[in-house]
Structure 1
Amino acid sequence: MDSAREPVPFEVFEEGVYLHGTKADLEVGEVLTPGRESNFEAGRVMNFVYFTETLDAATWGAELAAGPGRGRIYLVEPSGVFEDDPNVTDRRFPGNPTRSFRSREPVRVGELLGWVDHPPEKLQAMRDGLASMQRDGTAQIDD
């Protein structure tokens, strides 16, 4: 699937379509499972797979993920139950406007091509904000 539109905060990409942003180089059809290293915290193994229905949140994931290589956005198909991601739901935003979820079950991936990055100044502002949260100890992941 190809998407050349700019990400819009809180806008659902396509109803019922889930996205995962990362720098991991995955093959179409591969299964993404919990137990992989965090995209954002070196040395931390994650207990969940995280995904979203918004292109904006997936784009942030692809742009901010640690590691070498280009960011990628994958279309993901959950294989089991999933829940709202408590890292953003009600903690950072009332309800779940980012439509962010997590699951202990595997998800199958397909790649979304042609997505558009956030503007460089917006990306830098986000990186600065995250660095500040890490310095203050408020960047905890509830996993």
Structure 2
Amino acid sequence: MIGYPEDFSGNPTPSYRSNAPLRILYKVTEWTGHSSEQLKMMHEHLEHLKQHGIAAGDD
């Protein structure tokens, strides 16, 4: 992708697309992710929303 350094390659979501160049201010080198229990709860909540016809990210 033009405008993205190799460290940030991929397919960003439309909400992160920009016509103007983006400037990377810093790179996160240390990050602690969510626990397995937290991830499980988030996935269950997304499934609950899906079952009720609510798409994730709806405003």
Query: Which range, TM-score by smaller chain?
Result: 0.5 to 0.7
Answer whether contact 2:46 2:56 (CA < 8 A) is retained: no
* Larger strand proportion of the pair: 1
Q: Does 1:116 align with 2:41?
A: no
State which structure, 1 or 2, has the greater radius of gyration over its C-alpha atoms. 2
RMSD: 3.7
Structure 2 runs not aligned, ≥5 long: none
Distance 1:124 1:31, change over 3 A: closer
Would the aligned equivalents of 1:133 and 1:139 in 2 still touch at CA under 8 Å? yes
Partners of 2:21 and 2:35 in 1: CA distance: 32
Pick closer, same or farther for the CA change 1:111–1:133 going to 2, 3 Å.
same
Higher fraction of helix: 2
Q: How does 1:23-102 map to 2 (within 5 A)?
A: 27-28=6-7, 36=11, 38=13, 46=14, 48-49=15-16
Return the alpha-carbon distance in structure 2 between the equivalents of residues 31 and 126 of structure 1. Answer: 26
- In the comparison of the two structures, how many residue pairs are matched? 54
User: Taking structure 2 as the reference length, what is the TM-score of the superposition?
Assistant: 0.53
* RCO higher in structure (CA 8 A, sep ≥6): 1
Q: Does 1:138 align with 2:54?
A: yes
Stretches of structure 1 that go unaligned for 5 or more consecutive residues are: 1-25, 39-45, 51-102
> 2: CA distance between counterparts of 1:116 and 1:138?
29
